[in-house]
Chains A and B, each alone.
Chain A
Amino acid sequence: MAKLGDIAKILRSKNSGPFEITLDCLFDQPHLYEVVKQSGLITKEKIAKLYQIEESDIHHLVFFDQALGFKVTMAREVSSGSVGERDVYGAQQHAPLLALEVLIKEVDQ
């Protein structure tokens, strides 16, 4: 087993407009990207559970092969900078994803 944070080259969060937060996970080795993509572990169900939100709050979950990465975009609980805000830029909301455990024999070697 490995944590996503250990094998990803970039794992970040950021606002995508004031009403959404988007998580980007990018790899620098094609085989790591493929293994994660093929593992079937990156699902809306899993992300929703990790972030304690409804699956319907996840607006996109898309893999993009040319960039060796996937993106998850979710609804913000409050719009950026409004009352109740914790992270105006949404730049530190990636931490739960770092700890997501993914497989994998190829990585353990």
Chain B
Amino acid sequence: MSQDIKILSPSGMLGYGFPEESFQRGIAEQVHAIVVDAGSTDGGPHKLGAGVSIVSKRAVKKDLDMILRASLPRKIPVIIGSAGGSGAKPHVDWTLDIISEILQENNVQAKLAIIWADFTQDYVIGALRENKIVPLSANIPPLTESAVLETNSIVAQMGHEPIVEALAAGCDIIICGRAYDPSPFAAVGIYYGKDKGLSYHLGKILECGALCAEPGTTKDCILGTIGEDYFTVQSLNPSRTCTAISVAAHTFYEKEHPYILHGPGFTLNLQQCTFTELGSGIVRVSGSQYIAQPETYIKLEGARLIAYRTFVIAGIRDPILLSKLTDVEAIVEQQTKQYYPEINEQDYKISFYNYGMNAVLGDKEIEHFNGHEVGVMFEVVAKTQELANSICATLRSTFLHYGYEGRKSTAGNLAFPFAPSDIEFGPVYEFSVYHLMQFDGNGFPIEYRQGGK
């Protein structure tokens, strides 16, 4: 019987932080790998489009410093999934710079593997012409060549295969570009010959940190152990515990289906899983079923710049204005448009969000407004930043001074918290590529480097 394989997941997101005590408890378990997810599409298309992160460099460095100071002397491989937030080249480079700083400051060396996940426009257009690309769900438009050409940064989610290869090469740190979130975790079990279904199911749980425990959080450590025909999960913080239900329920999280998961080249069926509490907060899971697909499809992600935004936040406390707020906003929008007859109305869009009234749900709001104060956020998105700024300034001054019927507060309609009131947001992106591409095996190249002095 082969040995059990232990994986430490310090946190649900590199840069979110985790308690050092929990982490050290994990290290004391003599784990086979430390794996941490660093990316997601949750925060929207901006970070992929703009090539930036949504966690700070300071926070990522703080987390990685603690991880590497424990892993390197013990020869525990560290795997970072979807580096830098979106796993495109700028995100991977950003992560590599942080790792270099840490290695130099600690005066240590490390063997690095970098697994790139970028796909060129030419490659994607080639696949498109061969009808190898399909939308992920019915509400996603088919991909077009012009959409690809407008999308500067396209990545795809890797499976476990290149990560297993990097593990076999004996690396200290494996930095993955965009990966299917569970893949970097699954790669560890699969590298050691464990069942793929169990490896991926455990990966799906571990990638969120301690979210499968109670109370759940992404900002704490969790330990996964894979045996022959089961895996276990346990919290590494005594103030949290895993239960059969908390672990079973976790497969619901941010997935479209509670027990059918689609990954690169396979489907995971968890319907027949059993979840058993072994005591001491350890939950044992078995029955995770890996079903290989005849064709491997990988998920492509890309974001394109669609507009520039300027916005204003203001408070409204006047009850007369609040009683006719949406009507006033419609008139203010109209007057602003009338002020710029020379500008094509298709070149910009004005929107109001009335916080306290219905800003979160919009038309779906079921409660009637009966408050005494509203926070209004209004934005202009336009073809250029200059246009967004100009129209937003007119919109703001018109709203501030508009003399609505029955007004008593003739000095001004808006309470601004800031000066200046208008905030230049910059570019707005959208997911222009979110499609499945039939994968021919060409992609996710591995580059080996020696890090540190």
Given A68-B249, A76-B139, also A22-B366 (CB < 8 A):
no
A94 to chain B, nearest CB (A): 10
B156 to chain A, nearest CB (A): 14
CA distance A99 to B366 in the complex (A): 9
CA distance A55 to B275 in the complex (A): 33
Residues of B within 8 A of A82 (CB): 44-45, 306, 428-431
Residues of B within 8 A of A81 (CB): 43-46, 429-431
CA distance A95 to B367 in the complex (A): 10
In the complex, which residues 224-262 of chain B have their Cβ closer than 8 Å to any Cβ of chain A?
A: 244-245, 248-249, 251-259
Residues of A within 8 A of B16 (CB): none
B61 within 8 A of A: no
B168 within 8 A of A: no
A34 within 8 A of B: no
Q: How large is the interface on A (under 10, 10 to 19, 20 to 34, 35 or more residues)?
A: 35 or more
Contact A86 B258 (CB under 8 A): no
Contact A52 B363 (CB under 8 A): yes
Contact A66 B273 (CB under 8 A): yes
Across the interface, name the chain B residue whose C-beta is closest to A28: B245
Interface string of A74-109 (1 = CB under 8 A from B): 011001111111111100110110010000000000
B1 within 8 A of A: no
Contact B252 A26 (CB under 8 A): yes
CA distance A104 to B47 in the complex (A): 47
Residues of A within 8 A of B275 (CB): 66
Contact A67 B251 (CB under 8 A): yes
Among B136, B140, B249, B360, contact of A69 (Cβ-Cβ < 8 Å): B249
Among A15, A62, A75, contact of B254 (Cβ-Cβ < 8 Å): A15
Contact A83 B434 (CB under 8 A): no
In the complex, which residues 307-323 of chain B have their Cβ closer than 8 Å to any Cβ of chain A?
A: 307
B355 to chain A, nearest CB (A): 10
Residues of A within 8 A of B349 (CB): 83
A80 to chain B, nearest CB (A): 5
CA distance A68 to B243 in the complex (A): 13
Contact A83 B306 (CB under 8 A): yes
Number of interface residues of B (CB under 8 A): 46
Across the interface, name the chain B residue whose C-beta is closest to A77: B362
B338 within 8 A of A: no
CA distance A30 to B140 in the complex (A): 37
CA distance A92 to B359 in the complex (A): 11
Given A14-B254, A99-B366, also A80-B306 (CB < 8 A):
no
CA distance A51 to B43 in the complex (A): 23
Among A24, A60, A89, contact of B253 (Cβ-Cβ < 8 Å): A24
- Number of A-B residue pairs, CB cutoff 8 Å, is 139
Contact A19 B361 (CB under 8 A): no
Among A10, A60, A96, contact of B256 (Cβ-Cβ < 8 Å): A60
Given A82-B431, A86-B359, A99-B366, also A67-B44 (CB < 8 A):
no
Residues of B within 8 A of A6 (CB): none
Contact B360 A95 (CB under 8 A): yes
Residues of B within 8 A of A16 (CB): 254-256
Residues of B within 8 A of A62 (CB): 257-259
Contact A18 B245 (CB under 8 A): no
CA distance A17 to B249 in the complex (A): 19
Interface string of A39-51 (1 = CB under 8 A from B): 0000000000001
Contact A84 B351 (CB under 8 A): yes
Across the interface, name the chain B residue whose C-beta is closest to A62: B258
CA distance A75 to B434 in the complex (A): 14
Residues of B within 8 A of A20 (CB): 137, 139, 256
Given A80-B45, A87-B360, also A75-B138 (CB < 8 A):
yes
Residues of A within 8 A of B271 (CB): 64
Residues of B within 8 A of A75 (CB): 137-139
CA distance A79 to B435 in the complex (A): 13
In the complex, which residues 416-453 of chain B have their Cβ closer than 8 Å to any Cβ of chain A?
A: 428-431, 434
Residues of A within 8 A of B306 (CB): 82-83
Contact B361 A69 (CB under 8 A): no
CA distance A9 to B45 in the complex (A): 32
Contact A59 B248 (CB under 8 A): no
A79 to chain B, nearest CB (A): 5
Interface string of B326-370 (1 = CB under 8 A from A): 000000000000000000000001010100000111111010000
Residues of A within 8 A of B41 (CB): 15, 17-18, 80
B interface with A by C-beta (< 8 Å): 41-46, 136-140, 244-245, 248-249, 251-259, 271, 273-275, 306-307, 349, 351, 353, 359-364, 366, 381, 428-431, 434
A-B contact pairs, 19 of them (CB 8 A): A15-B42, A15-B254, A18-B431, A19-B137, A22-B254, A24-B252, A26-B245, A26-B252, A59-B256, A66-B248, A66-B274, A68-B249, A70-B258, A79-B431, A79-B434, A88-B42, A96-B361, A96-B366, A99-B366
Top 8 closest pairs, chain A to chain B, by CB = A81-B44, A82-B430, A64-B258, A75-B139, A67-B248, A67-B249, A16-B256, A73-B256
